[in-house]
Amino acid sequence: MPFVIFGIVIIVFIIIIANFKIVPQAQVFVVERLGAFNRELHTGPHMLFPFIDKVAKRVSIKEQVADFKPQPVITKDNVTMQIDTVVFFQITDAKLYTYGVERPIAAIENLTATTLRNIIGELELDATLTSRDTINEKITIILDEATDRWGIKVNRVELKNIIPPREIQDAMEKQMKAERERREKILQAEGDKKSQILVAEGEKQSKILKAEADKQAEILKAEAEREAMILRANAVKEQKILEAQGEAEAIDAVQTALAASIVKLNEANPNQHVLTLKSLEAFSKAADGKATKIIIPSEIQGVAGLAASLKEIVGNN
Q: Residue 64 has what pLDDT?
A: 92
Q: Residue 304 has what pLDDT?
A: 44
Q: Residue 266 has what pLDDT?
A: 67
Q: Residue 58 has what pLDDT?
A: 92
Domains, the chain, in order of start with CATH, read 2-60 (no CATH), 64-164 (3.30.479.30), 271-317 (no CATH)
The answer to whether residues 165 and 109 touch, using CB atoms and an 8 Å cutoff, is: no
CA distance 52 to 22: 18
Contacts of 266 (CB under 8 A, 6+ apart): none
Residues of the chain with pLDDT under 50: 300, 302-304, 307, 310-311, 314
Q: Residue 153 has what pLDDT?
A: 93
Element (H, E) at 231: helix 166-268
Give the global pTM: 0.53
